[in-house]
Amino acid sequence: GAVVSQHPSWVICKSGTSVKIECRSLDFQATTMFWYRQFPKQSLMLMATSNEGSKATYEQGVEKDKFLINHASLTLSTLTVTSAHPEDSSFYICSAFSSDTGELFFGEGSRLTVL
Partner 1 sequence: QQQVKQSPQSLIVQKGGISIINCAYENTAFDYFPWYQQFPGKGPALLIAIRPDVSEKKEGRFTISFNKSAKQFSLHIMDSQPGDSATYFCAAQPGGYNKLIFGAGTRLAVHP
Which residues are near partner 1 by CB under 8 A?
Answer: 4, 6, 32, 34, 41-46, 49, 93, 95, 97, 103-109, 111
Cα 24–25–27 angle (5° rounding)? 140
Nearer Cβ to partner 1 (3/17) = 3
State in angstroms the smallest separation of the CB of 62 from partner 1: 13
State in angstroms the smallest separation of the CB of 73 from partner 1: 18
Nearer Cβ to partner 1 (81/96) = 96
Nearer Cβ to partner 1 (61/86) = 61
Q: How far apart are the first and last CA of the chain?
A: 37
State in angstroms the smallest separation of the CB of 40 from partner 1: 10
Nearer Cβ to partner 1 (20/109) = 109
